[in-house]
Amino acid sequence: MPADLDLPLGKRYISPSRLRDQLKMANDQEKEAAGRASVRFVKDGQIVGLGTGSTAAYAVRFLGERVRQGLKIRGIPTSVATRDLAASLGIPLATLEEFQQIDVTIDGADEVDPHFNLIKGGGGALLREKIIASASRQNIIIGDSGKKVSMLGKFPLPVEIIPFAQPLLARRIEALGAKVKLRLKADGSPFVTDEHHHILDCHFGRIPDPPALARQLDAMPGVVEHGLFIGTTTVVLIAKGHDVEEFRSSS
């Protein structure tokens, strides 16, 4: 059926592919708006944590623009991909060997609940992201309107593991109520993180008590890190259309 076929009563048919394109465009516009809003938290002379993922990439690009305009910062990237992007934009880079205290980090999230708990790791960088978040005075989390949820869990929780322990950990996490899948690349081989680990994507559906689940996962030998970020967030910026809402943690 043609994309714009007239239907009775003034209705118009939109093909599934065109609808997907329109939704993606709207989603990208929200990500861009959130990324643009986030860079106002960065001041001259600061050490800045650079997040990973499609939303964080917008923030990195806008920081690159500000650097070209004269902003003086040093960026510590949370992944090889972000390192390469930042370097291509002329952002001066640093490491944790040089700076153990980071002024502000800008990063995305896969889900944000009303208590500022997060699921992160869809881009595979959760370990480095959590390390950088733990060293940051401020953590600015940015996202499109779909990232704000009433309860975590619809997005599969990434758990970074040592490959040796994979069968054991998959069974133990399944015992907690999740459907567990090993993350694969397009060619069918296991996805490998920057730190050479594997990721189990754990579909819980609902996570009513994120801190309790975080403690259970922390206690499992072989789990390197998980994508539950508890008590790390300072500010959340959620874009809806062209507007950006700001939420501040009270803690």
Query: What is the number of other CB atoms lying within 10 angstroms of the CB of residue 173?
Result: 24
Task: Please tell me the distance from the alpha carbon of residue 235 to that of residue 131, in angstroms, as a whole number.
Answer: 18
90: which 2 tokens? 């002329």
Q: Residue 112: CB partners within 8 Å, gap ≥ 6? A: 118, 141, 143, 147, 148, 149, 233, 236, 238
Task: Please tell me the distance from the alpha carbon of residue 197 to that of residue 209, in angstroms, as a whole number.
Answer: 26
- Of 32, 111, 129, 160, the active-site residue reads 129
What amino acid occupies position 112?
A: V
> Quick check: is 129 catalytic?
yes
Give Cα 90 distance to the centre of its chain.
Answer: 23
45: which 2 tokens? 């002379």
Catalytic residues: 129
